[in-house]
Chain A
Amino acid sequence: MSELTATIIDIQRLSTEDGPGLRTTVFLKGCSLACTWCHNPESISFERQVQWLESNRCIGCGLCIEACPADALSMTENGIQINREVCGGCATCVAVCPTAAMELKGEVWERDALIAELVKDVSYIGKDGGVTFSGGEALMQSEFVTCALKRLQEMGIGTAVDTAGLVPAHALLGALPYTDVLLYDLKIFDREKHIEYTGAPNDLILKNIIAAADYAREHGTPEIWIRTPIIPGATDSDDNINHIGKFIAAYLDDAISRWELCAFNNLCLNKYERLGEEWDFAGISLVHAEEMEHLLDVAKDSGANPDKILWTGSTFVEK
């Protein structure tokens, strides 16, 4: 990790879900949390990972198996299996695959090359949109991200950081001067439950957002959006929403512009399959709209400014 290179999973152009306006979103690899419901499981590990895309691409030529220096690949009924124990992520298989069915998650990008890629959509981004750094945990590669944010701002391009906040305070505060919009996740208020579902306590997360709010009050920037994923059984209790709301009311309310409740979605199931992992939420269906409305009411009654609260995402539909 440095200010010159970063490990990146994906660059998403014409992104409509990662902040205001149209955006280009950079997903950085590696996360300091390991949420059991994670929608982007390929983003958790800091290591390069290869994955096999489902059979509508693979023609079964077996070139990848022959080429693998670690003997990590085998052909099974369910397609190519990757032995994660021995795969070192060298991506030789990705290079030889004729159909692009083998994919590398975690390419290393030079900063200048990345900036050149990010400005390609500057005409569409306009004055409302911009570039968002997300992940994974974008600020785990904070030196690179901060430099890139600064460069983009100098070029007149809007900037945003999407973070879960479990990063050293200086990493967050160092990025804020170059961040126009901060998207900040508050998932679970109860400390023990936070450990249970994300693998880490939330003390630093809560501390950091208070510091960020202080910064925003003092400097009038960045704009802050708080986001709470609504995950069945994990974050969707009235109690959790009420507590997060009370915390916002006590420390953040005047410094943020919105608090978004994001409905759980289950579209990432096959991402787990590709990585050869089990997903705890595989059998869970989408949240009902009534449930989201109810939680919205809970949030609005918690003491946080009701005008700033909304819910987003797709909900369960009877077929």
Chain B
Amino acid sequence: MSELKERIKQPQNLSPRIKWLRDWYFEGAKRDWANEYLSFSTGTDWDVLTDETFVYTMYSLMPSIDTTDIATKLAAYPIAIPEDFFTWNLVERRAWFVKECMIKYVPKEILPGDLLAGGRFQLRVSKCLTKEENDEREAFLHGPEGLRQKMYEYHERGFGNCGPTPGHLIPGYEKIVKYGFKHQYEYIEGLYEALTEEEKAGDKGAQLRAMMTAATMPRELAEEYSRVCADLADKAKTESRRAELLQMAQNLKRVPWEGATTFWEAVMSLWMTHFLVLSDENYPGPGDSFGRLDQYLYPYWKKSVDEGMDPEFGKEILKTLWIHCNTVYDAMIRIGNQGITAGYGQLFTFSGMGKDGKDVSNDLTFALFDVIEDMTPMLEPKPSVRLHRNTPEAVMNRVIELISSSQGAPFLINFDERSMAGLLRQAKMTGVQDLINKDNVYDYASVGCLENTMVGNDRSETVNCNLNLIKSLEFALNDGADMVDYYKVDGSIYPKISDGIKTGDPRKFKTFDEFFAAFEVQMRNDVRRMVGMYNQCDIHRTRYTPTPYLSILVKGCAESATDITRGGAELKFVTIEGVTFATTVDSLLAIKYLVYDEKICTMDELITAIADDWEGHELLQARAKNRAPKYGRDDDEADALARRVMDVWSDECWKHKSIASGEQFRGGMLSWNYWITYAPICFATPDGRKRGQFLSNAICPSNGADINGPTANANSVGKALGGKTDGEGDFEGYINYLPNGSSHTMTFSPSMLRDDDHKAKFKAFLQGYIENGGTALQINVLDVDTLIEAQETPEDYKNLLVRVTGYNAYFTSVGKELQNEIIAREMQNKY
């Protein structure tokens, strides 16, 4: 193992300050300081501090909801509230409470050597509900027809899941960095003054007053931190540290209340504005993203460098931001492994297209590449580099260097043309061309894992609904009824429920088109079912969980005097992510091939085989797996079926809006880790998969299906998304059905990048991907562990190419001894 470890990318060029902070961070739970959740309560016996709907999308956490609620409440520190507190409007109660906690109760500490203030901010605090509100909420969630129980069944019978997940948007950070909260405060104050007296007394007035309260929170917090820095400066052991602390105190006197004047101030302003969103939402960080960092911070970078700032010091400031972004994981640090249960995805975007298709990379773009290279491996913040047809050579070369030196990209690669096509299509489909059009779409950025959104006015809700497409296939195969046993959390079995549409006995269907029609009816119905489920979540959110601070940062909320959780944002969408796309498409292809085209079996035989989990039907299973066509091979007919599924999917999703907040639904294909979660739930599928085996991931072909290599794989993905047309398409001929983009992962052997010649070839691959592929690509360059895994489970790695001069082979198709030889060589990277 020691040899293995040596090959893993190590951090580099770290100053003693950053090295210390980074090493200290990775001590994890052993540290004497952590940014753990702090809990504060109103002290009432009905108080509630957690929002269980946050975890409705994570089945594994649902059984511990009550324990978490009780433990959090027990750990909570009661703080004194004004006497008339419960006569206030909820949004004002909440604004006051969060601010009170942050200013008066959360410790203000500066990490050793730190250049940014703001160590602790993870809060789980009172929802500030009255007893009456809370009783009503209890009944809504936990009554006999309560939402929690419904969600259990929705999960357990394999439909999917949904919940009003916070984060996953890009607040208007740029505006704060530029003008400060003062500007926003005055703006909201103006809007408030313009209200009628009646409005002032009502919800609108309360909302704007709450936002004004929230807007003063960063000012007062910065004042506190400024004092702490000044005090520390007095005690500083060295002159240079003293100077730093004095400058930090000075910075905090200005930002984030006023606009930044230097790079250091700009990063300080950004960090405080950002972490207070996490405090406000009581959500540890997922998906709350920074947007185009190299664009809106550039004026400050340039000005400071021109005025004498050493660019290395600028990078040092950014590196402290990196450390802070990772401390979000401290919220639940006692769980272990840095408290990581999933990647948090405070994503930032850099490089990419500007107006008129021109690239807008600048010196800061390259500084960010350096910081990423120096700090990798480290999870946060997650970089997303935007590539397009006119990406300059220098950027491409830097991208390739980082991919090859880090066992895969330490960043996500996002592709502008296809991404922008999706956002423009969204504008067309939902009539918001005034807000998304060719003159501003290039300023999009990504949140969370990779989801594309507009910036500063878009409540993008990208992972709230996750629908398992396989369920619709099950209903189509069984006339709208469950086909197999589904288990409750206590291990008991659901009765076979028939709540799909009665589309008829598929044994009587004469053609594949008849079967597809039945599938389409079921899928549309399952989308409507999802909309119904999500509407319940949306009601809960709009009633009980206002976030007035975040509302300041999203355009539309102040103007409409409506909280972002109640639909205040200018753009408001909610994505239904389709899970198991390729498994579903491959299953349809297998039905077509086995039953209708080649007539290898009857529908009855196929249904029996599936019901038996393929036991005793191994021959048919082998044919389904190996002989039926698959998506991911650049086979036009198979890919056309993928596109057909995409068409129905996207069409049905566009038809709906949530009732409580008016969010527009749209289709996506992200699937997070549900392809693993739903594997044991999903029945054996017609593509030859047994119950329990992994499902397909996001827009990717099924494991091992892409036997024609990476270019064929990428071409299929591009075609499934809509491909290209000779006409205008959605953007320069590109069509994209999924405005949020789609997650595509590809794996390469390190031999593909072994020298400059091969790096140039890999660059050509990426340039081809810009033309033909999807919206976002995550690249894995295989490590030895994975090769060993490929040796043990060859069926999952059929596509792994091994390249040696003059000889091509799929890794899994060469004998074991030779595989060992390749592994040995790979360990020393000696191709």
Where the two chains meet, the residues of A that have a C-beta atom closer than 8 Å to any C-beta of B are 12-17, 21-22, 39-40, 53-54, 56-57, 59, 61, 63, 98-100, 120-121, 123-126, 128-129, 229, 262-263, 265-270, 273, 312-315, 317, 319
With both chains docked as a complex, state the minimum distance between the C-beta of B795 and any C-beta of chain A, in angstroms: 8
> Could you write out 18 A-B pairs with CB less than 8 Å apart?
A14-B801, A17-B803, A39-B807, A54-B815, A56-B795, A98-B619, A121-B768, A123-B772, A124-B765, A124-B767, A124-B769, A126-B767, A265-B805, A266-B818, A267-B809, A273-B815, A312-B805, A313-B805
Partner of B818, one of A16, A61, A263, A269: A269
> B812 to A56, Cβ gap below 8 A?
yes
Q: B191: CB under 8 A from chain A?
A: no
> B764 to A17, Cβ gap below 8 A?
no
With both chains docked as a complex, state the minimum distance between the C-beta of B801 and any C-beta of chain A, in angstroms: 7
Chain B residues, CB < 8 A from A229: 806
Chain B residues, CB < 8 A from A22: 761, 764-765, 768
Q: B618: CB under 8 A from chain A?
A: yes
With known contacts A39-B806, A61-B619, A265-B806, A125–B627 Cβ distance under 8 A:
no
Chain B residues, CB < 8 A from A120: 634, 711-712, 715
Q: B81: CB under 8 A from chain A?
A: no
> A314 to B711, Cβ gap below 8 A?
no
- Candidate in A12, A121, A262 with the most chain B CB atoms within 10 angstroms: A121
With known contacts A61-B622, A98-B627, A126–B815 Cβ distance under 8 A:
no
> A123 to B813, Cβ gap below 8 A?
no
Chain B window 756-777, contacts with chain A (Cβ cutoff 8 Å), 1 for yes, 0 for no: 0010110011011101100000
Chain A residues, CB < 8 A from B803: 16-17
Known: A56-B794, A263-B805, A317-B824. 16 other contacts (CB 8 A): A14-B709, A14-B711, A16-B758, A17-B803, A17-B808, A61-B622, A121-B768, A123-B768, A123-B771, A124-B768, A125-B764, A126-B764, A229-B806, A262-B806, A265-B804, A270-B818
Chain B window 696-730, contacts with chain A (Cβ cutoff 8 Å), 1 for yes, 0 for no: 00000000000011111001000000000000000
Task: Name the residue on A nearest B623 (C-beta).
Answer: A98
With both chains docked as a complex, state the minimum distance between the C-beta of B752 and any C-beta of chain A, in angstroms: 7
Q: B46: CB under 8 A from chain A?
A: no
> A314 to B825, Cβ gap below 8 A?
yes
Chain B window 803-831, contacts with chain A (Cβ cutoff 8 Å), 1 for yes, 0 for no: 11111110011110010011011001011
User: Bound state CA distance, A39 and B623, in angstroms?
Assistant: 31
Q: B626: CB under 8 A from chain A?
A: yes
- Candidate in A229, A268, A273, A314 with the most chain B CB atoms within 10 angstroms: A314
> A129 to B764, Cβ gap below 8 A?
yes
With known contacts A16-B758, A53-B813, A269-B818, A314–B765 Cβ distance under 8 A:
no
> B815 to A17, Cβ gap below 8 A?
no
Task: Name the residue on A nearest B624 (C-beta).
Answer: A98
- Candidate in A12, A15, A317 with the most chain B CB atoms within 10 angstroms: A317
CB within 8 Å: A-B pair count? 122
Partner of A59, one of B618, B712, B821: B618
Chain A residues, CB < 8 A from B623: 98
With both chains docked as a complex, state the minimum distance between the C-beta of A36 and any C-beta of chain B, in angstroms: 16
Task: Name the residue on A nearest B822 (C-beta).
Answer: A267
Where the two chains meet, the residues of B that have a C-beta atom closer than 8 Å to any C-beta of A are 618-619, 622-623, 625-627, 634, 708-712, 715, 752, 758, 760-761, 764-765, 767-769, 771-772, 794-795, 801-809, 812-815, 818, 821-822, 824-825, 828, 830-831
Chain A residues, CB < 8 A from B822: 267
With both chains docked as a complex, state the minimum distance between the C-beta of B156 and any C-beta of chain A, in angstroms: 34
User: Bound state CA distance, A51 and B814, in angstroms?
Assistant: 14
> A124 to B824, Cβ gap below 8 A?
no
> A128 to B760, Cβ gap below 8 A?
yes
- Candidate in B623, B765, B822, B830 with the most chain A CB atoms within 10 angstroms: B765
With both chains docked as a complex, state the minimum distance between the C-beta of A206 and any C-beta of chain B, in angstroms: 22
User: Bound state CA distance, A93 and B627, in angstroms?
Assistant: 14
With known contacts A13-B711, A124-B711, A128-B764, A313–B806 Cβ distance under 8 A:
yes
> B805 to A262, Cβ gap below 8 A?
yes
Chain A residues, CB < 8 A from B708: 13
> A126 to B805, Cβ gap below 8 A?
no
Task: Name the residue on B nearest A101 (C-beta).
Answer: B626
With both chains docked as a complex, state the minimum distance between the C-beta of B41 and any C-beta of chain A, in angstroms: 59
> B830 to A315, Cβ gap below 8 A?
yes
User: Bound state CA distance, A65 and B628, in angstroms?
Assistant: 22
Chain A residues, CB < 8 A from B831: 314
Task: Name the residue on B nearest A273 (C-beta).
Answer: B815
Chain B residues, CB < 8 A from A40: 807
With known contacts A21-B764, A128-B760, A319-B824, A270–B711 Cβ distance under 8 A:
no
User: Bound state CA distance, A121 and B803, in angstroms?
Assistant: 19
Chain B residues, CB < 8 A from A21: 760-761, 764
Partner of A99, one of B622, B712, B771: B622
Chain B residues, CB < 8 A from A125: 764, 768
User: Bound state CA distance, A12 and B808, in angstroms?
Assistant: 8
- Candidate in B758, B813, B828 with the most chain A CB atoms within 10 angstroms: B813
Partner of A313, one of B764, B768, B804, B821: B804
With both chains docked as a complex, state the minimum distance between the C-beta of A103 and any C-beta of chain B, in angstroms: 10
Chain B residues, CB < 8 A from A39: 806-807
> B824 to A17, Cβ gap below 8 A?
no
Chain B residues, CB < 8 A from A15: 808
Chain A residues, CB < 8 A from B771: 123
User: Bound state CA distance, A124 and B626, in angstroms?
Assistant: 28
Chain A residues, CB < 8 A from B815: 54, 269-270, 273
Chain B residues, CB < 8 A from A99: 622, 625-626
> A13 to B709, Cβ gap below 8 A?
yes
With both chains docked as a complex, state the minimum distance between the C-beta of A161 and any C-beta of chain B, in angstroms: 15
A-B pairs with lowest CB-CB distance, top 5: A124-B768, A313-B805, A123-B771, A98-B622, A123-B768
Task: Name the residue on A nearest B758 (C-beta).
Answer: A16
User: Bound state CA distance, A40 and B806, in angstroms?
Assistant: 9
Chain A residues, CB < 8 A from B767: 123-124, 126
User: Bound state CA distance, A298 and B448, in angstroms?
Assistant: 57
User: Bound state CA distance, A313 and B825, in angstroms?
Assistant: 12
> B807 to A265, Cβ gap below 8 A?
yes
User: Bound state CA distance, A53 and B812, in angstroms?
Assistant: 11
Task: Name the residue on A nearest B801 (C-beta).
Answer: A14
> B710 to A14, Cβ gap below 8 A?
yes
Chain B residues, CB < 8 A from A16: 752, 758, 761, 803
With both chains docked as a complex, state the minimum distance between the C-beta of A234 and any C-beta of chain B, in angstroms: 15
Chain A residues, CB < 8 A from B802: 267
User: Bound state CA distance, A40 and B794, in angstroms?
Assistant: 23
Chain B residues, CB < 8 A from A100: 626-627
Partner of B830, one of A63, A268, A312, A317: A317
> A124 to B764, Cβ gap below 8 A?
yes
> A17 to B805, Cβ gap below 8 A?
yes
With both chains docked as a complex, state the minimum distance between the C-beta of A31 and any C-beta of chain B, in angstroms: 14
Task: Name the residue on B nearest A95 (C-beta).
Answer: B627
Chain A residues, CB < 8 A from B618: 59, 61
With both chains docked as a complex, state the minimum distance between the C-beta of A6 and any C-beta of chain B, in angstroms: 19
With both chains docked as a complex, state the minimum distance between the C-beta of B84 and any C-beta of chain A, in angstroms: 67
Chain A residues, CB < 8 A from B622: 59, 61, 98-99
With both chains docked as a complex, state the minimum distance between the C-beta of A7 and any C-beta of chain B, in angstroms: 19
Chain A residues, CB < 8 A from B758: 16
> A314 to B804, Cβ gap below 8 A?
yes
With both chains docked as a complex, state the minimum distance between the C-beta of A123 and any C-beta of chain B, in angstroms: 4
Partner of A98, one of B626, B760, B809, B814: B626
With known contacts A98-B619, A267-B804, A317–B812 Cβ distance under 8 A:
no
With both chains docked as a complex, state the minimum distance between the C-beta of A97 and any C-beta of chain B, in angstroms: 8
With both chains docked as a complex, state the minimum distance between the C-beta of B198 and any C-beta of chain A, in angstroms: 62
With both chains docked as a complex, state the minimum distance between the C-beta of A3 and any C-beta of chain B, in angstroms: 26
